[in-house]
A and B are shown apart, each in its own frame.
Chain A
Amino acid sequence: MHYGLGDYVLDIAQNAVEAGSSEVVVELDESEAGFRVAIRDNGRGMTEEQRACALDPFYSDGTKHASRKVGLGLPFLVQAVELAGGRWSIESEKGVGTEVEFDFPSASVDSPPAGDLASLELGLLCLPGDYEMIVRRSGPRGSYELKRSELAEAVGGLELASSLALLKDYLASMEEDD
């Protein structure tokens, strides 16, 4: 089971990137009511049957690990959201893309802590592959947007430890007041 909100978001966003998407949009909206997250991709998508199977922890399409019989990403998320009394939805169309949306109400003690958002964003931007990632964040300290291609160009790629340290500082500053 995951610990913080960021762990769930990173896990699902990784699915989005691995679905062969050229663009992934992650929305992180924090309000008094709670935390709403949407992860939209234009990857290969799922049929209605595959979508239903993806919620079964003992299902995996077998493309990643040939003899593996588990896939826990989405089941973990659904379990946590339902425990906290939040809402979730997964919409997908084969060949078009997938959208996963969920929220954790702030009133529930079972909602996971938001944790370090800058750390989550670093993880999102550094998932392996050639794709565009757009993060739209809004919260008590204002809102901002991150674009992977723009940031990669600014810090000289997203692999060298020195570039990642710069990016981390930048992301931490974005969580400060305007």
Chain B
Amino acid sequence: MAKMTLEQLRKLREEKKQDLTRREVEGKEIQVIVGMGTCGIAAGAKLTFDAIVEQVNAAGLGDQVVIRQTGCMGLCYVEPTVEVALPGMPTVIYGKMTKDFAKELVTKHLVEHKLLDDHIFDRPAADIMKK
């Protein structure tokens, strides 16, 4: 494969865009946020981010899920951390989410709407909460 041009990238996006307008009717935004502070990076958060992008798309949810990076969520001892906000479910922060758990996160939480009980670390540490 050779280097893609920006024009080819735009074309590829146009092709996929039709799917997007079809699905927008559902109008739900699911957010997955990966902690990418020094602590997260050291624990492999970059690999987790990549794996989540891959798994979300593999599950056909590419146009419904927003994936973001953020800094340290205050849970350095259980990195990598991933926050998931899905309408109708409690917002949770999962810890110890190495890349191997990306598939479980997508199939269980995003598709089946079930929490990953063993990974819940809930709220961020008190020192970074807004007063």
Write the residues of chain A forming the contact surface with B, with a CB cutoff of 8 angstroms: 1-3, 6-7, 10-11, 14, 18, 64-68, 71-73, 76, 116, 119-120, 122-123, 126-128, 142, 144, 150-151, 154-156, 159-170, 173-174, 176-178
Contact = CB atoms under 8 A, between A and B. Distances in A.
Nearest to A171: B4
Interface of B: 1-4, 6, 9-10, 12-13, 16-17, 19-20, 36-39, 41-42, 44, 46-47, 49-50, 52-54, 56-57, 61-72, 74, 127-128
A164 B53 contact: yes
Contacts of A11: 38, 41
Contact of A159 (B44, B61, B67, B128): B67
A170 B38 contact: no
Contacts of A162: 16, 19-20, 57, 62-63
Given A165-B54, A169-B4, A178-B2, 15 more contacts: A1-B42, A3-B42, A64-B128, A67-B127, A72-B38, A76-B38, A119-B46, A126-B67, A126-B69, A128-B68, A128-B70, A159-B67, A162-B63, A165-B62, A167-B9
B62 A155 contact: no
Instruction: Specify the main secondary structure of chain A where it touches its partner.
Output: helix
Contacts of B66: 159-161
5 contacts: A11-B38, A73-B38, A76-B38, A127-B69, A178-B2
Contact of A166 (B9, B36, B52, B65): B9
A155 B46 contact: no
B36 A123 contact: yes
Given A11-B41, A176-B3, A166 B67 contact: no
A6 to B, nearest CB: 7
Contacts of A150: 6
Contacts of A7: 41-42, 46
B62 A160 contact: yes
Contact of B56 (A3, A126, A161): A161
Nearest to B58: A165
A150 B10 CA distance: 10
Nearest to B55: A161
Contact of B127 (A14, A65, A159): A65
